[in-house]
A and B are shown apart, each in its own frame.
Chain A
Amino acid sequence: DTAVSQTPKYLVTQMGNDKSIKCEQNLGHDTMYWYKQDSKKFLKIMFSYNNKELIINETVPNRFSPKSPDKAHLNLHINSLELGDSAVYFCASSWTGLNTEAFFGQGTRLTVV
């Protein structure tokens, strides 16, 4: 049973389209995250939600909008996709606190053409 699952695994789409990536965790964690990994493997935090409330919103274009319908889900919607949005997007979850670890999904490889 997958702990953090995100769909789809691959997403190829044209510039200007709107797309969503879904994430679900079955670990009962209270915090969920979205990370973007570029071609050099650099991981950048995009958003963090704690108990459905946004707590971290790094400098990302406002074309990116996270939505957390409940504690177990954190979806990422992207409007007006651009070539530079091509990357691997990872969802993760954890408990709040020091004695914790982040569990990652398998990633969604987004290619904008």
Chain B
Amino acid sequence: DIQMTQSPSFLSASVGERVTLSCKASQNINKYLDWYQQKLGEAPKLLIYNTNNLHTGIPSRFSGSGSGTDYTLTISSLQPEDVATYFCLQRNSWPLTFGSGTKLEIK
């Protein structure tokens, strides 16, 4: 099975700051990597699919990049409504596996 390691586990940043979240796969996942946002008490929501494609309705301050085993989610200017836990998901092979999440808070 492919293991997904997210870092950091917790991140505190200021409004307006550029934030970078990392997701590392245990083997090449060929850019089959998605990012999900989960706010407290809510269902997860798709942000980015296939590494760098912004899902419909997602603000352009969110972007994704990466290849091989290393992937990144960037928020260009952190907003208060971005407080959430962010999960990555690999879909290169079964079983699908999520990272353990990065909890993002406002400083």
Q: Do A and B bind each other?
A: no
